[in-house]
Each structure stands twice: as C-alpha cells, then as structure tokens.
Amino acid sequence: MITAIVLAHVKPHRIPEAAQAVADLEGVESVYSCAGDVDLVITVRVRDHGTVADLVTGKINKVKGIKRTTTHIAFHSYSSADVDAAFTIGE
C-alpha cells in the first residue's frame, strides 16, 4: 500500500464542502481542516503510485474550491506503539 499526504489550499468559504467532497473519494483515509500554511491535510492510502496520481490530479484537484495541492509520499510509518514495542523485545 502507498500512503500519501496531500496538503491542499482551498478558497476559505469552500473549506467545509471541499473537505467533505474529498473525504467521500475512494482511497482517501482522512481529511483534517487545520490552521497554518494549508487548509486541508489529506491522507491517502491506495495500492500504487499511479492510483495516487489519478486520485490527486483527476479527483482531488478538481473538487470545487481547491486551489492547489502538494503531495508527499510516505516511506515508513512510525508511532509511539512501534517505539514502545521495540523497547520491550527481550523482556
């Protein structure tokens, strides 16, 4: 599985509608509306890079109100549970 983090800039008056439209797309795992440099942080989980490209350029970028996106491909996932498990090996 490929995980991608998509940062989206959205017209302010369209943020709630754009967020819901993106959340409804197949392959979108979560959508966060946030303060800061971007309006939406979108996590995508799909089978291959081609599907990421199709989803971002063919669907997410076409949602009404989305001005532009930046996509980051994740290499590895870390969590506090992973770290805790690593330190309990051999106990």
- pLDDT per residue, tens digit, the chain (91 aa), is 999 999 999 999 999 999 999 999 999 999 999 999 999 999 999 999 999 999 999 999 999 999 999 999 999 888 776 656 656 655 5
Q: Which residue has the tokens 């051999």?
A: 90
User: The tokens of 64 are what?
Assistant: 């009404």
Q: Where are the domains of the chain?
A: 2-88
For position 30, what pLDDT does the model report? Answer: 98
For position 85, what pLDDT does the model report? Answer: 62
2-88 CATH pick, 3.30.70.920, 1.10.3720.10, 1.10.1060.10, 3.30.2350.10 = 3.30.70.920
Looking at residue 54, its amino acid is D
Close Cβ partners of 52 (under 8 Å, ≥ 6 residues apart): 2, 4, 44, 46, 71, 73
**14 within 8 A of 65, measured Cβ to Cβ:** yes
Q: Which residue has the tokens 């063919």?
A: 58
